[in-house]
Amino acid sequence: MLNAELARLLYELADLSDYIGDSPFKSRAYRQAGRYLETLQTPIEVIAEGGQSALEAVPSIGKAIAEKILQYLETGTIRKHQELLSQVPAGILEVMSIPGIGAKTARQLAEQLGVHDLESLHNALEAGAVDAVLGAKKAERLRLTIDLLKKSRVRRPIGRVLPTARQLLNQIEQLPGVERALIGGSVRRMQETVGDIDFLTATRNPEDVVEAFCKLPLVKLVYAKGENRAQVFLEDGLQVDLKTVPPESWGAGALYITGSKAHSIRLRERAMARGLKLNEYGVWHGSERVASETEEAVYRALGLEWLPPAMREDSSELALAEQGKVPQLVQRFQVRGDLQTHTRWSDGDHSIEQMLESARAQAYEYLALTDHAEMFLQGSDWLSLFRQRQREIEALNERTGGRPYLLNGLEVNIMEDGALAVPDLLLREAELVLAGVHDAHGQPADQMTQRLMRALEHPLVHILAHPTGRRFGKREPNPADWERLFRRAYELGKAIEINGYTTRMDPPTPLVRLLCESGAWVSLGTDSHRASQLWTMELAVGLAQRGWLTPERILNTRPLTELKAWLRERR
């Protein structure tokens, strides 16, 4: 890890040196050393144990740079780097890191337009001032670049990013020289929102792979390209990072690229405490590599059981892994059906039959149709309307032999005071009833707790849907006493939903952990309003995994007969 960090400092030093107009030989030497460090597998601190002379013996490291490396290892900084930093405007490195802006251009922009960071560059571009200095064509390119960089800063719901990540993974796997590839980072950990996509590839030809990756059709801007890594942006500003390792470092590389940062830091500390070093190429005992090929082997070398990516967040997962008590988390294939979907009978876009086809494509045993109950009140005769839908469901079940079996469910709105929005008479007709908050959000926690409690305790309600009501970019989670609510659900034998709808992902991870500890039943639902949305069950499963849930308490891992019995028992 120090190798990469040190390489970064040397590249910065090169930029700074160019900016102040120092000898070009110096910056060339810094960059050369940076490149060497980027590809060096042995931790640099191991080489540095042999002192100045051992470092100088390394190709591309001379006396001056060897001294700087020792400084860095001793103090965490390089004096020359600090010194030059203090001589230039604070944001100048940021400006110089933009493709198309070298030292000369950066100086020109600074001297003539007072550009000293991204913000002032942005303003100068908007004002048209850059056009006069660099020409209209170059200014326009910079405008596009800055625009992409700005767009890249928002975190995106994982459901928006995952399809692109898979598409790219496919393309990366096809690149010549790529032996293996995986999606890492927060996407692999199934975090609800992600900052970028991180890929790892195993290859013997890192430069060719990096080159080919940068030429993929989805890539709009190549921001940084190194010996074995690249950082690019897609059309919509989504950032994509690629890192390559040699095939024998696959496991260590996967661990590194997956993170989280906090988890990786814990692992490195643990390695150190055992007289070992951990980096993206392996676990090292001095200059000997003792593990690296698989994640299991790396964890084992640190005295740990393998941990699923969704658990790698530095809560207390290492304690479990140390004792060999890592839970067998729920898997997508164990889910036998979706327990929240909508059709044209309420606000969905597709017919029951279309939803059924999609459920079949998911290899489901059952599918719950949970149209909004209030819709049936709009006609003059709600019961006959409800029966009409019921007949449609029964006819389809008969035609398919119940493969997959359609459950006649309803989702009912929980009103401001916790009462349900439709008469019991209607709810009693449904095989499965979800209750959820759809308006009057943002009540004080006490009031929300009472409201949800009343709904949960309603004898006809099976499942509390999308508990906190959060919507990315729209609404924060409603506050409530979740511990109490989940405990009550446990006592009542009712279920709390984990909602996988792309912009919901509700409840958030910390609450799913609480939910897991409460022992209450859990229901996984996608809240699909289109047939094409059923795939998001894997998001609900990912969220369940982030809360450490195992299949036993998850309602929809139960076979249909058990599920039906469970539903009837609660009536």
Q: By rule CB under 5 A, what string of x and - marks binding of each residue 139-178 to Ca ion?
A: ----------------------------------------
Pick from 68, 2, 1: nearest CA to 29: 68
Pick from 186, 298, 185: nearest CA to 250: 298
Q: By rule CB under 6 A, what string of x and - marks binding of each residue 187-216 to ligand DGT?
A: ----x--xxx-x------------------
Stretch that binds ligand DGT, among 255-263, 281-289, 376-384, 395-403 (CB under 6 A): 255-263
* H-only helix segments in 22-61: 24-39, 44-48, 51-56
Element housing 132 (H / E):
helix 129-134
* Shortest Cβ 89–ligand DGT spacing (Å): 24
* Shortest Cβ 165–Ca ion spacing (Å): 10
Q: Write the DSSP string, 323-366.
A: TT-------GGG--EES-B--TTTT-SS-HHHHHHHHHHTT-SE
Residue among 185, 436, 477, 525 that touches Ca ion (CB under 5 A): 185
Q: Please count the CA atoms within 13 angstroms of the CA of 361 that sit on its side-chain side.
A: 12
Report 372-411 residues binding Zn ion (CB under 5 A): none
* Shortest Cβ 264–Ca ion spacing (Å): 13
Using left for φ > 0, alpha for ψ between -120 and 50, and beta otherwise, residue 570 falls in alpha
- The nearer residue to Zn ion, 4 or 540, going by C-beta atoms, is 540
**CA dist., res. 84 & res. 19, Å (int):** 9
Element housing 408 (H / E):
strand 405-413
Pick from 306, 330, 329: nearest CA to 318: 306
**CA dist., res. 168 & res. 215, Å (int):** 12
Residues 6+ apart with CB under 8 A from 165: 183, 187, 197
* Shortest Cβ 426–Zn ion spacing (Å): 17
Give the phi and the psi of residue 230 in degrees, each rounded to 5: -150, 155
* Shortest Cβ 52–ligand DGT spacing (Å): 26
Report 419-448 residues binding Zn ion (CB under 5 A): 436
Measured from each CB, the residue nearest to ligand DGT is 259
507 binds Zn ion (CB under 5 A): no
Q: By rule CB under 6 A, what string of x and - marks binding of each residue 258-297 to ligand DGT?
A: -xxx--x---------------------------------
411 binds Ca ion (CB under 5 A): no
- The nearer residue to ligand DGT, 264 or 528, going by C-beta atoms, is 264
Amino acid at 161: V
* Residues binding Zn ion: number (CB under 5 A): 1
Q: Which does 261 bind (CB under 5 to 8 A by kind): Zn ion, Ca ion, ligand DGT, none?
A: ligand DGT
* Shortest Cβ 198–Zn ion spacing (Å): 33
Q: Which does 264 bind (CB under 5 to 8 A by kind): Zn ion, Ca ion, ligand DGT, none?
A: ligand DGT
Using left for φ > 0, alpha for ψ between -120 and 50, and beta otherwise, residue 520 falls in beta
Q: Long-range pairs for 94-100 at CB < 8 Å and ≥24 separation?
A: 94/118, 95/121, 96/15, 96/19, 97/15, 97/223, 97/224, 98/142, 98/145, 98/146, 98/149, 99/145, 99/221, 99/222, 99/223, 100/138, 100/141, 100/142, 100/145
* Residues binding Ca ion: number (CB under 5 A): 5
256 binds ligand DGT (CB under 6 A): yes
Report 171-190 residues binding ligand DGT (CB under 6 A): 185-186
* Shortest Cβ 369–Zn ion spacing (Å): 13
- The nearer residue to ligand DGT, 256 or 386, going by C-beta atoms, is 256
Residues in touch with Ca ion (CB under 5 A): 185-186, 196, 198, 241
Q: Which residues bind Zn ion (CB under 5 A)?
A: 436
